Structure 1
Amino acid sequence: MPERARILVVDDDPWLVKLICTALGQRYECIGAADGIEGLAKALVRPPKLIVSDVMMPRMSGWELVKQVRSHSQLAFVPFIFLTALGSEDDRLYGFRLGADEYLPKPIDIAELGQRVDHVLQRLAQLEQAARDRVRKAPPKGAPGLRGDLDQLGLSSLLVMLEMERKSGLLGVTRDAPAERVRIYLIEGRIVAAQADDGQARNADAVYHVLGWKHGHFEFNAFLVEMRDEVEMSTTGLLLEGARRIDEAARA
């Protein structure tokens, strides 16, 4: 029987933690923590597949928790969902910049939370499998670069592979019709900057734009990149937000 995904729920309201764990416990292994300090300690002992956290908590807030989580290599890529009564767009964007992958307002809708959790974990499993498949076919270490077609390897899988391999360098993505090129800079697998050659999109917006391309070419060249992180989002967060935008555009 396959092992159930482990979810860590962090909130200073014990009733809410119990409610969430009861709902999610039918499909996942769910454990609770009363604040960020306890949550971080439990995550370090046994890394979860997903963290669901409140923002306003005693001792360590959710903002600080996600920063601490992203600073530990064994937790850096764990998806993070915020639950909070802070409803402004600025708060939402701040959470994404810190490395959150989803953001749900309180009072929460348990059914919607379950759907978001399912979506995040399903997407994560797909990305991990695609990356494992690609790593098995990747060129040997020391190869000068990596190039190919988006028809054969989607950009999401490529970015996850580069993240897992902690690669630094420049990923160029081009397409012929219309003629466009986007440059994506990475430091140890993390996207730190992106720029469309026509200047119409930069950083996260440039990544979201190119994630929608079904056809095109890519070329990655490894080298030392020294620049400020202008994206300030995890790769998982970028991919999930990009997928959400593509879904919204398709439904429009």
Structure 2
Amino acid sequence: LAKGKSYFTLEELNQAVAESTGGRVASPIGAVMIESPVRRQMGQVVPFDEMKAITDFCREQGIGTHLDGARLYMMSAASGVSPREYSALFDTVYVSLYKYFGAPFGAVLAGDFSHLDGMFHTRRMFGGGLASSYFVAGLALQGAHGFEERFHKALVQGRDLVKKLNDLQGIEVREFDHGSNIFPLAFAPGVDQKRLVECLRRRDIFLYPDEGADQISRLTVNTTVLRQSNDTIVQAFIEALESA
């Protein structure tokens, strides 16, 4: 993870590699992991070109690569780059089954045989051999079917919603340069944020105020946005702002 930002650059990695081998005691880097989207940076995505440059460099240097792609399919919907294209860059890839596919737990670790040989035992050690795992797989398969199309529709509607909300007085919705499905919200000083959040909650719209940041919240778009029209959601915001 990059410190205080969503991704590190090839230049920064190159410097870290040089430092790891140039000291009095060499401690060369054996593997590089990239997380994307980055949870601690409000779901911002590592640009594909930067990701490719880093993994190409690692391959030249004999450094292993791993993609922490827990939300890989969400990232693909946001960036337009397919899961196959992302995965082709890395030696191993992790995908969560419970974050958005509807399974109660579980994950997939993908890679070629040379990297995953022997993982059978590790999988069993961490619960992969549970007799009840079949229903987890079933729920994940059901959730994965058509997910990319559904989430793409949700993001299209979400971005249109952002434009409409920005036409309202007392609220500003911002976007990240490399964002995915999370949008920071800023409210005018006179808005009672707690009251507004409660009003929206009664309309099945949930905002999450940032701790330590007055008048700032996060709007997270997921497939449930498809259950209501943008006009209905905007009207809910209008009424909530009036009451707050």
Judge same fold: TM > 0.5, yes or no: no
Structure (1/2) with the larger strand percentage: 1
| TM-score class normalised by the smaller sequence | under 0.3
Q: TM-score, normalised by structure 2?
A: 0.28
Q: TM-score, normalised by structure 1?
A: 0.27
Q: Rg: which structure is higher?
A: 2
Structure (1/2) with the larger helix percentage: 2
